């Protein structure tokens, strides 16, 4: 299995530009999670999906952030417009059963390092 795939691995953009991060979860997994990691705030859950449906987006920082999961094998996290404070590493993770099984293991992708100038 290829694991969770994220693209791009690195993104450098200018303030005000739109940024789209992509994630392909492990085949057969029903839940997908987006996290943001910064030195100041650590690892934060932004949003998660069960069976392609957003369940909890309370971690999404503001309206500039949006996430979609059009099918079981693809999700996007979009920032529009981007700001320098959005600079972080964004991780996608997937799990087999998600919220229905509290002990479910989450498998993380390698992350996208975003730099907004």
Partner 1 sequence: GNSVTQMEGPVTLSEEAFLTINCTYTATGYPSLFWYVQYPGEGLQLLLKATKADDKGSNKGFEATYRKETTSFHLEKGSVQVSDSAVYFCALSDQNQGGKLIFGQGTELSVKP
- Check residue 108 for interaction with partner 1 (CB under 8 A): yes
98 phi/psi in degrees, rounded to 5: 65, -135
The CA distances from residue 113 to 36, 50, 101, 108, in Å, are: 10, 25, 30, 14
Q: Are 44 and 22 in contact (CB under 8 A)?
A: no
* 54-73 positions binding partner 1, by CB under 8 A: 55-56
Report the C-alpha gap between 96 and 94 in whole angstroms: 7
Instruction: Single out the segment in contact with partner 1 by CB under 8 A; choices: 18-26, 60-68, 73-81, 95-103.
Output: 95-103
Q: Using CB under 8 A, pick the residue from 42, 53, 70, 71 that binds partner 1.
A: 42
CB of 88 to partner 1, least distance (A): 14
* Interface contacts to partner 1, rule CB under 8 A: 4, 33, 42-43, 45, 48, 55-56, 91, 93, 98-111
């Amino acid at each position: 299995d290829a694991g969770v795939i994220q693209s791009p691995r690195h993104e450098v953009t200018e303030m005000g530009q739109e940024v789209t991060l992509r994630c392909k979860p492990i085949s057969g997994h029903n839940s997908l999670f987006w996290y943001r990691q910064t030195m100041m705030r650590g690892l934060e859950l932004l949003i998660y999906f069960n069976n392609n449906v957003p369940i909890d987006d309370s971690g999404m920082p503001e309206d500039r952030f949006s996430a979609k999961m059009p099918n079981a094998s693809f999700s996007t996290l979009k920032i529009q417009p981007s700001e320098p404070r959005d600079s972080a590493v964004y991780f996608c993770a997937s799990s087999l059963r998600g919220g229905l099984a509290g002990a479910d293991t989450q498998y993380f992708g390698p992350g996208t390092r975003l730099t907004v100038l």
